[in-house]
């Protein structure tokens, strides 16, 4: 019997519903507004109504606890759920230490609350 090891991730993840503004670099499409579904200090998963495209670069602005967090991101994966629903995994490739710290604190607080 083949046993698989649990998936090890660089960053812990939590479910989330945080507002996000996306601006895809190199495209003339208007900015998109959506919500995160999952977030971590290293990236997020969100749902969009259109394909963004694997490897696409973007500017991401997330509203979190009354603060605007900014990051440059890259589409790490994309999964089409229906013609109007695409799950998109975004890796943060550039984020300030302060913004990453805010995300680390958010994730840690939620994980502590669920563990208690």
Residue 21 counted as domain residue: yes
Residue 59 counted as domain residue: yes
Taking the alpha carbons at both ends of the chain, their separation in whole angstroms is 35
Q: Give the pLDDT confidence of 8-55 residue by residue, as tens digits.
A: 667 888 999 999 999 998 877 778 899 999 999 999 999 999 899 999
Residue 51 counted as domain residue: yes
Residue 7 counted as domain residue: no
Predicted confidence at residue 32, as pLDDT, reads: 87
Residue 85: which domain range?
14-115
Residue 34 counted as domain residue: yes
Residue 9 counted as domain residue: no
Lowest mean pLDDT across 37-41, 81-85, 112-116: 112-116
CATH of the domain at 46: 2.40.10.220
| Residue 20: strand pairing partners | 34, 62
Asked if residues 64 and 77 have their Cβ atoms less than 8 Å apart, the reply is no
- Number of domains the chain is built from: 1
Residue 8 counted as domain residue: no
User: Per residue, what are the HEC states of 12-77?
Assistant: CCEECCCEEEEEECCCCCCCEEEEEEEEECCEEEEEECCCCCCCCEEEEEEEECCEEEEEEEEEEE
Residue 2 counted as domain residue: no
Half-sphere exposure of residue 63, counting CA atoms within 13 Å on the CB side?
Answer: 9
């Amino acid at each position: 019997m083949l046993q698989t090891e649990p998936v090890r991730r660089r960053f812990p993840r939590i479910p989330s519903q945080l507002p996000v503004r996306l601006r895809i670099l190199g495209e003339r499409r208007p900015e998109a507004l959506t919500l995160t579904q999952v977030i971590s200090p290293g990236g997020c998963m969100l749902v969009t109504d259109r394909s963004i495209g694997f490897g696409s670069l973007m500017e991401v602005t997330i509203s979190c606890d009354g603060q605007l967090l900014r990051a440059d991101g890259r589409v790490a994966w994309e999964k089409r759920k229906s013609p109007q629903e695409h799950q998109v995994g975004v890796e943060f490739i550039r984020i300030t230490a302060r913004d990453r710290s805010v995300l680390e604190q958010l994730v840690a607080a939620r994980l502590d609350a669920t563990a208690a």
